Amino acid sequence: MTLLREIQNLLEQTYGKIGVNLEDFFLNSDRHKHLARLSSHASGVAGATAGQISDLGRTFLRVSDDKLRVGIYYQPSVIEALEKESPQFGLTDDNILPFMVFLEEVDHAVHASLKYLEGYRDIFAEEFVRDLEVQAKVDVYLILQMYCAFFNDDKKLHDEDRRWLKACVFDAEHFAYDEPVLAQRYRETNRLGRRYVKHLDTLTPKRRTTEIRKFRKLDYRRKQKRIQSLS
């Protein structure tokens, strides 16, 4: 099974089926450049900030004929790093960053699709984008936990694993964007994600699954309130 299929299956088993194989939606460099140019000339929040978003990985969304169109792009260096040292054989300091990039874009595609199937249509609204970002922070951390525990001799996650993963997912983030909307978006979703996973780490696996399924269905404002209500 390919890495993408493995991750998509994991997300769908947790949150719900999206009805497509995301392997069919990979973009080559030419198509990526074309869509990036279109995004940079678009109106609204998405267009105004798209030029500053990292091109290590990118998920493109648009609506056509009342259907959500999705495209996923990874910089060749990301794919090369994962092929050289696959996370399917263990996590290291060398492959965790490209794996995080990989996970985040798959997560965006899955959750945007689920939201659209549930009736969300304003996919370029800032709250929709932030919803995807905070959800990705949570999912990336949880998936990394699973991989980390699997390759431990005792198949358990240890405190030092959690510290390492939080440092990678949350502490290594920088917010040096020229566009204030981007800086505020990523700073806020990073802070909310870190606070939420701290709560998730206190739950049993069964309760954690129940909690994140309920959390996924909330819109961004209700996600904020849920996290802020946690002690």
pLDDT of amino acid 126: 96
Higher pLDDT, 33 or 99: 99
- For the cut 70, the answer to whether the pLDDT of residue 51 exceeds it is no
59 bridge partner residues? 72
Instruction: Give a yes or no: residue 190 inside a domain.
Output: yes
- For the cut 60, the answer to whether the pLDDT of residue 101 exceeds it is yes
| Integer Cα distance of 41 and 50 in angstroms | 9
| Integer Cα distance of 55 and 163 in angstroms | 27
Tokens of 126: 């800032």
pLDDT of amino acid 40: 59
pLDDT band with cut points at 50, 70 and 90 for residue 111: very high
Closest CA to 78 of 51, 59, 104, 97: 97
Average pLDDT value for residue range 207-216: 98
For 186-209, the pLDDT digits (tens) are 999 999 999 999 999 999 999 999
Instruction: Give a yes or no: residue 189 inside a domain.
Output: yes
Domain housing 222 = 3-18+85-228
Instruction: Give a yes or no: residue 202 inside a domain.
Output: yes
* Exposure letters 5-31 (e unless 16+ CB within 10 A, then b): eebbebbeeebbebeeebeebebeeee
Q: How far is CA 200 from CA 91, 143, 183, 210, in A?
A: 21, 13, 26, 11
% of the chain beyond a pLDDT of 90: 82
pLDDT of amino acid 89: 95
Instruction: Give a yes or no: residue 134 inside a domain.
Output: yes
pLDDT of amino acid 41: 45
Q: Per the structure, how many domains does the chain have?
A: 1
Return the residue matching tokens 């040096």.
176
pLDDT of amino acid 42: 44
Phi–psi pair at 125, nearest 5 degrees: -65, 145
pLDDT of amino acid 38: 79
Instruction: Give a yes or no: residue 207 inside a domain.
Output: yes
Give yes or no for a contact between 219 and 119, defined as CB atoms under 8 angstroms apart: no
Average pLDDT value for residue range 20-44: 80
